[in-house]
Chain A
């Protein structure tokens, strides 16, 4: 495949009965790239990935995958890609082996090649001991890995993953990303959507999507530079109360809570810091630490979103 882009999207849009799910989205993904589409639930991630995988027709714009048009050459696109939906379609009443065999038959994988591939995929996903187990009896993480194994039974040029690690335990999540990085080494282009912002940091490039609109699209490092403001990280004894207080008093700044840590995004760190100290003191909340930190992707996201929504 010599197309300059693995994926090219131009002014893509999708309306469902008057509701705009995806609105005028354009971007491209280079071959061999790991691209992450990040956004909250209902942002339009799934609709976008379905349109790219040629299983849903857009209502506006065009998309090409490996140089082929997703509507006019849908069946060709399908031969070049793998797609794993949020709930990968496994047959719960078939065994692990039968599920993989079925997809191997559908993709027309020859008998000799198949045995070797299946052995490798099962080993790769630590599923070898479970060959004869019914897919419905696997844990959530194992189901996702089996789904990936089925999706990879043929060698796709582009792999589309829709929230592959949603609801998966941390160990399986790590396994899963390890597998994805191995695939990158084999030259597969990967397009992944996720609501986990920490996973976005593992991507080469990230697109931020909200309410169907692509707000930003760049490398994680460049996205951080988007932040014109600074981040103050505060740890207090009563973070919930502190957040409520700060949200009430500091109207110019955006405040978000990550576990016990409060991030205050501000253009003027010094005066804000002293204001915060006095506010907390007045309310009798003890401040354990306050320091300026590098923005993480979540901060970027929150900041971009709040600018957009303003």
Chain B
């Protein structure tokens, strides 16, 4: 038993690492993806290109505009002189926001009447537009407080300290950097793609080149064959976790607060599902191309419904229930909490148990479908 398994493993490793392209896919691509992804996926909204259409051009209007420009959120793109230009800039996507101040803005402020400032937003990207609107509201309310304070000062009243002051502290990700949230999650995606795709292709390749027929007629056992095909990918999966973690920690300075051992343990549990799917795909595919297509059939929904980019809490309830069948969901929680919160098994055990149960079901289902006969 052990001898045959060893023979399978030796063969699989020679095959996996002999081809230079394969070595590249296994070792270089994960690091490259992490780095590109780390820079690309950034949902922090800063320096929004903003046009200013100031019809008033008073001290007050310039003061308000100045407050926008000085914040890190807005950056002045252009002072617009004509109405049509506003439309043009938004249409072309040169700016994502326009601040418009009507004639009489300064006069209204000075005389104590309400004045209006208009903020035009490019709502195509609704998420960003919402965040920008929030920033603008903060700046405007700050301006209001200052204006009121000045008015009271004119009447000789010095206002006391405000009643409530909101003090916000973000735990686990102090500067609210989206990179800290997304980069660790890249681990999950890379491990899933590489192990599921390559393990299914490795089995199907044997069907394609005819070695499967030959293997079937040898006394090799079903389990020896399956373990021979999956164990190398467990190792490759671990290598990938190590590489991506190193890139995240040393390149992007993402904090790794929890136990590395627990991270690998969670990975092992996740691989049970990932390789189980890979094995399942190999039982329904006859060519590597079919295997690849089928793998994407699993990968896309798994990623979209994992909470990787879109929070599960925002999904309709039936879809939320569906995500419980998605192993990536549990793995992402485990990775993010180990990296950012540094929590241990006492918190993560429900996720790990979910992953173990799901993985065992998927893997044994795939194994039961795997036959050591033709068609």
User: Contact flags (1/0) for B179-219 with A, using CB distance below 8 Å?
Assistant: 00000000000000000000000000010011111111111
Within the complex, the shortest CB–CB distance from A192 to chain B, in Å, comes to: 16
A89 near B15 with CB under 8 A, answer no
B219 touches A78 (CB 8 A): yes
Q: Is the CB of B15 within 8 A of A105?
A: no
B19: Cβ under 8 A from any A Cβ: yes
Tell me the dominant secondary structure on chain B's binding face: helix
CA distance A91 to B215 in the complex (A): 11
Quick check: B374 and A55 within 8 Å, CB to CB? yes
Q: How far is the CB of B11 from chain A (nearest CB, A)?
A: 5
Say which size band chain A's interface belongs to. Answer: 20 to 34
* Inter-chain contact B209/A92, CB cutoff 8 Å: yes
CB neighbours (8 Å) of A90 from chain B are: 209, 211
Which A-chain residue is minimally distant from B6 (CB atoms)? A105
Q: Are A85 and B375 in contact (CB under 8 A)?
A: no
With A56-B375, A93-B19, A106-B7 given, is the CB distance from A98 to B14 under 8 Å?
Answer: yes
Contact B209 A89, beta carbon cutoff 8 Å: yes
Q: Judging by beta carbons under 8 Å apart, are B217 and A79 in contact? A: no
Pair A105/B7 contact, Cβ less than 8 Å: yes
A186 within 8 A of B: no
**Closest CB in chain B relative to A44 CB, distance in Å:** 15
How distant is the Cα of A90 from the Cα of B211 in the complex, in angstroms? 6
Contact partner of A105 (CB less than 8 A), chosen from B4, B212, B215, B375, is: B4
Q: Which of B4, B7, B214, B220 has the most CB of A within 10 A?
A: B214
**B3 at interface (Cβ–Cβ under 8 A)?**
yes
Docked CA distance A92–B14 (Å): 12
Neighbouring B residues of A83 by C-beta, 8 Å: 214, 217
A56 touches B373 (CB 8 A): yes
> Known contacts A55-B374, A105-B6, A106-B4: does B209 contact A94 (CB below 8 Å)?
no
Q: Check if A85 sits within 8 Å of B15, measured CB to CB.
A: no
Output the least CB separation between B199 and chain A (Å): 17
**In the complex, chain B residues 278-311 whose Cβ is within 8 Å of any chain A Cβ:** none
A177 to chain B, nearest CB (A): 22
Q: Is the CB of A53 within 8 A of B15?
A: no
Is B113 an interface residue, CB under 8 A from the partner?
Answer: no
A93-128 residues with Cβ-Cβ distance < 8 A to B are: 93-94, 98, 101-103, 105-108
Contact (Cβ within 8 A) B210 A89: yes
The interface size of chain B toward A, counting residues with CB under 8 Å, comes to 26
Chain A residues within an 8 Å CB radius of B7: 101-102, 105-106
Q: Is the CB of B219 within 8 A of A106?
A: yes
B18 within 8 A of A: yes
Nearest CB in chain A: distance from B80 CB, A: 64
Could you tell me if A85 and B19 are in contact, using CB atoms closer than 8 angstroms? no
Does B216 lie within 8 Å of A55, measured CB to CB?
yes
Q: Check A55 against B373 for contact (C-beta < 8 Å).
A: yes
The answer to whether A103 touches B218 (Cβ under 8 A) is yes
Q: How far is the CA of A56 from the CA of B213 in the complex (A)?
A: 10
Question: How many angstroms from the CA of A16 to the CA of B375 in the assembled complex?
Answer: 10
Question: Are B217 and A78 in touch, CB under 8 angstroms?
Answer: yes
For A82, the chain B residues whose CB sits under 8 A away are: 217
Distance of A92 Cα from B211 Cα, bound (Å): 10
Q: In the assembled complex, which residues on chain B have CB atoms less than 8 Å from the CB atom of A105?
A: 3-4, 6-7, 10
Interface residues of B in 213-241 (CB under 8 A from A): 213-220
Cβ of A50 under 8 Å from chain B: yes
Assembly CA distance A146 to B121 (angstroms): 71
Within 8 A of B (CB), among A41-85: 50, 53-57, 75, 78-79, 81-83, 85
Which of A81, A87, A106, A107 has most B Cβ within 10 Å?
A: A106
A53-B217 contact in complex given A91-B15, A94-B14, C-beta closer than 8 Å: yes
Known A-B contacts A50-B374, A85-B213, A87-B210; A106 and B18 likewise in contact (beta carbons under 8 Å): no
Check A91/B373 contact, CB under 8 A, given A55-B217, A85-B210. Answer: no
Given A89-B210, A102-B11, 20 other A-B residues pairs in contact with their CB atoms under 8 A:
A16-B375, A50-B374, A55-B213, A55-B374, A78-B219, A83-B214, A86-B210, A87-B210, A89-B206, A90-B211, A92-B209, A94-B14, A101-B7, A102-B7, A105-B3, A106-B7, A106-B220, A108-B3, A108-B4, A150-B214
The 6 closest A-B pairs by CB, nearest first: A89-B211, A105-B7, A89-B214, A83-B217, A87-B210, A89-B210
Interface residues, chain B, with chain A CB atoms under 8 Å away: 3-4, 6-7, 10-11, 14-15, 18-19, 206, 209-220, 373-375
Binding site for B on A (CB under 8 A): 16, 50, 53-57, 75, 78-79, 81-83, 85-94, 98, 101-103, 105-108, 150
